[in-house]
Structure 1
Amino acid sequence: MFIRKFRFAAIAAAALIIAAALLGGCSQTVDRQLDPHKLNVVASFYPLYDFATKIGGDHVHVVNLVPAGVEPHDWSPKSRDLQLLGRSQVFVYEGIGFEGWADNALKTLKADGPVVVEAGKGVPLLQAAEDDGHDVKDGGEAGESKPGADPHIWLSPANAKIIGANIKQAFIQADPAHKQDYEANYANFASKLDALDAKYKQQLGGVKQKQLVVSHQAFGYLCRDYGLTQMPIMGLAPDAEPTAQEMKKINDFIKQNNVKTIFFEELVSDKLAKTLAKDAGVGTAVLNPLEGLTEQQQKAGQDYFSVMETNLQHLVQALQ
């Protein structure tokens, strides 16, 4: 009798676990459902999702293709993602090479499919150096998609205004009835970006240290705007691990510039940054490239502006 009861309890527990897993899967599916009463927008990754949500306001339903907590550099869509994309009214992607899967995805869209907005169009690009993957220098035509261009354009508030304007125009094209609301939402968004830009200039303008060591080469535009220099541990993608020669170069950079902090990020392993910091006898802090949010950040209601404010605090503390 005891054994039968034990088996029954075990089967019941297993059934509950399976049911919970199925419900979890269903909740993810529901989150990706389209809203028949709104303009349905699919964004290729977090910053574009956040900008589209702010500019679209109550008139849009925005889906972020990349799940919370997932590093988007190597993410690629599944068939259900492509089906969702085909049924949407607007598809927002960057178009500078960050989404390696985008060209193939665009080929799956029908002529009467979503309005496609290349959000990075018109942004003055930085060209990543090809020699060692660590230096960033000016170059590249605005909005041009080609290998070597630094795609991390959203970390500049000035660039974010251009991205937002492209999204706004796509919304007006797809839903002209709400043009005034999109214009007003964008004006508010742009005003907040101007205030953020002014705050960055004011607070970073007075720091003594101008050199950063960061986990990967994501902060070129931010450094350009505010007179800083980045030395990344990894290249444009956070999985491009440095060679022994590059590690020596980073160590020399730390010593020569009296760097006191090495910055790491949440969505990739911090082991390399912390090992380097320990070897060099310096501290560590988070500098978020805003490629995505963790589930905890999402639940806490964080967004582009709150993360950029936190980034500024960490930069000022490290560079004083």
Structure 2
Amino acid sequence: MKRKRKAFMAVALSILVIAGCSARGGNDPASSQVDSAKSAGAAQSTETVAKPDKLKIQTSFYPMYEFTRQVAGELADVELLVPGGVEPHDWEPTPQDIQKIEESDVLVYNGAGMEGWVDQVKSAIGSGKLVTVEASQGLDLIEGTEEEHGDEHDHDHDHDHATGDHRHESGDEHAHDHGGLDPHVWLAPSLAAQEVRNIETALAKAAPDHKDKFKQNADAYISKLNQLDQEFKEGLAKANRKDFITQHAAFGYLAKQYGLTQVPIAGLSPDQEPSAEQMTEVIKFAKEHKVKTIFFETLVSSKVADAIASEIGAKTAVLNPIEGLTEEDEANKRDYLALMRINLESLQAALNE
């Protein structure tokens, strides 16, 4: 599957290069065809083109879209590249997506290895007018192989998956190219606030005349994130237990911020299958610590969490990594703040059973 994605990216980038040659006036037939396609596409989309005074922004996946939308306000047309309901770890841009990025003013992505495609796309597009922002730039990132707990809570388990290690004994290639780093910084509100500030800086660079408005918008949203952070601190401070089991290691930053211990069944990738040994270790840990809830996530199968819950007589519940909105989320108009508060309620329930 990974080789297929790489092949697809190669084709997509080749198309982008051909399109670039066409724009420079190449005379080969392929260039002419791409040029004609671009002209036809431009004619069809005349009515939907952004207003000249607005920034055109592409964002990688939902949290980046939401944070950027909050900062930009009415001063930009913000688009989401990864469609709703799609797991962003597995997504790759189509030639049409790459062309949209090339034609935009700003590209916002999380970084820390979350978007494995972004370096190739940036390299192919070159250093034209596009302003890019890696929202996690400058944050204190967690190594995927290090302990991801926030205190020295006493645990007698020493298995690798409890540290967030995303390596597999089987040597499969589901781990994705995170570069050893945990990219899920948006799940800690205080770190999400830093990402918002990085986005503000980038938008001010792209449209300096509006920097004051961008700062005003960012300040207002960061105030909401600070309130959310305070709710998590107060809501989790007196929890009866400090450890929780989750299907994959997406909640290291959240755990670190609030003095919790994440015990992931598998590693950083949501489609990573745990080994039989890992399953046995988690089941042993759950029984010894009388865990009554096994968390799984939206957008991926819950079969691993279901299997462990069945083995120990526990229930399952959702802890949302907020990598994309489901149809239910959209129908109920749930945004990042609402979903994080649902996560808080879920954690409080599980940690106080």
With the shorter chain as reference, the TM-score category is: 0.7 to 0.9
Amino acid at match of 1:102: V
Question: Match for residue 189 of structure 2?
Answer: 157
TM-score (norm 2): 0.77
Q: Deviations over 1:110-162 (max 9, x none)?
A: 3223101111101101111188343149xxxxxxx971111111101111111
The one of the two structures with greater contact order (alpha-carbon pairs below 8 A, sep at least 6) is 2
Q: What is the rounded CA distance, in whole Å, between the counterparts of 2:306 and 2:86 in structure 1?
A: 21
Of 252, 267, 270, the match for 1:235: 267
Question: Match for residue 135 of structure 1?
Answer: 163
Asked if residue 35 in structure 1 is aligned to residue 63 in structure 2, the reply is: no
Q: How does 1:87-236 map to 2 (within 5 A)?
A: 87-129=103-145, 132-136=160-164, 147-236=179-268
Q: What is the rounded CA distance, in whole Å, between the counterparts of 2:290 and 2:57 in structure 1?
A: 46
RMSD, aligned α-carbons: 1.9
Question: Match for residue 54 of structure 1?
Answer: 70
Structure 1 unaligned segments of length 5 or more: list them: 1-25, 138-144
| 1:296 Cα offset (Å) | 2.6
Q: What is the rounded CA distance, in whole Å, between the counterparts of 1:79 and 1:192 in structure 2?
A: 37
Q: What is the rounded CA distance, in whole Å, between the counterparts of 2:161 and 2:138 in structure 1?
A: 24
Asked if residue 297 in structure 1 is aligned to residue 305 in structure 2, the reply is: no
Question: Helix, strand or coil: the match of 1:62?
Answer: strand
Amino acid at match of 1:237: S
Amino acid at match of 1:187: D
Asked if residue 246 in structure 1 is aligned to residue 278 in structure 2, the reply is: yes
Question: Helix, strand or coil: the match of 1:154?
Answer: helix
Amino acid at match of 2:323: E
Question: Match for residue 311 of structure 1?
Answer: 343
CA contact (8 A) 1:40 1:88 kept: yes
Asked if residue 272 in structure 1 is aligned to residue 304 in structure 2, the reply is: yes
Question: Match for residue 5 of structure 1?
Answer: none
| 1:70 Cα offset (Å) | 0.3
| 1:257 Cα offset (Å) | 1.7
How many percent of aligned residue pairs carry the same amino acid? 43
Q: What is the rounded CA distance, in whole Å, between the counterparts of 1:243 and 1:136 in structure 2?
A: 14
CA contact (8 A) 1:211 1:257 kept: no
TM-score (norm 1): 0.85
Q: 1:146 to 1:274 in 2, by over 3 A?
A: closer
Q: How many residues were matched structurally?
A: 284
Q: What is the rounded CA distance, in whole Å, between the counterparts of 1:299 and 1:113 in structure 2?
A: 37
CA contact (8 A) 2:61 2:88 kept: yes
| 1:265 Cα offset (Å) | 1.1
Q: 1:231 to 1:34 in 2, by over 3 A?
A: farther
Q: What is the rounded CA distance, in whole Å, between the counterparts of 2:160 and 2:120 in structure 1?
A: 29
Q: 1:84 to 1:305 in 2, by over 3 A?
A: same
Q: What is the rounded CA distance, in whole Å, between the counterparts of 1:285 and 1:59 in structure 2?
A: 39
Structure 2 unaligned segments of length 5 or more: list them: 1-40, 147-158, 166-176
Amino acid at match of 2:225: L
| 1:180 Cα offset (Å) | 1.5
Q: What is the rounded CA distance, in whole Å, between the counterparts of 1:108 and 1:299 in structure 2?
A: 37
Q: Deviations over 1:188-242 (max 9, x none)?
A: 1111111111110001001111111101110000000011111112210011110
Amino acid at match of 1:96: A
Question: Helix, strand or coil: the match of 2:316?
Answer: strand
Q: Deviations over 1:235-255 (max 9, x none)?
A: 100111100000011011111
Q: What is the rounded CA distance, in whole Å, between the counterparts of 1:283 and 1:146 in structure 2?
A: 31
CA contact (8 A) 2:89 2:114 kept: yes
